[in-house]
Amino acid sequence: MNMENRAIPRQEWPEFFQGFSKKHMNWLVTVELLDPKIGDQVLARDFALQGISVDAKRLQEGSLSIFLTKGEDEITHTVAKPEEIRLKRSFQGADEALEILSSEGSVTLLTFRVAIPTEKVDGFLPPSGGAR
């Protein structure tokens, strides 16, 4: 798979996640926790992304939260002390995955079920804006 990685500077996280959440609302994702201490775990598979938020005032010692839904189920996954954010994009410009590295050594990996450039999504979503 051909991808390019883009690190998101810490000072840009609040604005990045606001735009990212808006562009990818209801996109189906899988969230995995890669942790050398407890092993790799799938936390959610094919859940609709509702958003990602970070406390702009506490970027250094804070946390970020990923909000997901699937039918009546709601999941919030919180990453304590995020240290690095990397956006993985295909060479065609489609967002494929988001890596969130914690200062504690774990990686939260958010992978889209279907990667398509966001500017091409309009023709693929139902009028209600439901999940893909």
pLDDT in tens, 93-116: 888 999 999 998 999 999 998 655
In a domain, 131, yes or no: no
Count other C-beta atoms under 10 Å from residue 88's C-beta.
20
State the CATH number of the domain containing residue 76.
2.70.180
Name the domain count of the chain: 1
In a domain, 127, yes or no: no
* Full domain range(s) for residue 54: 3-120
In a domain, 19, yes or no: yes
Q: Which residues pair with 48 in a beta bridge?
A: 28, 69
In a domain, 22, yes or no: yes
In a domain, 130, yes or no: no
pTM of the full structure: 0.80
Tens digits of residue pLDDT in 13-46: 999 999 999 999 999 999 999 999 889 999 999 9
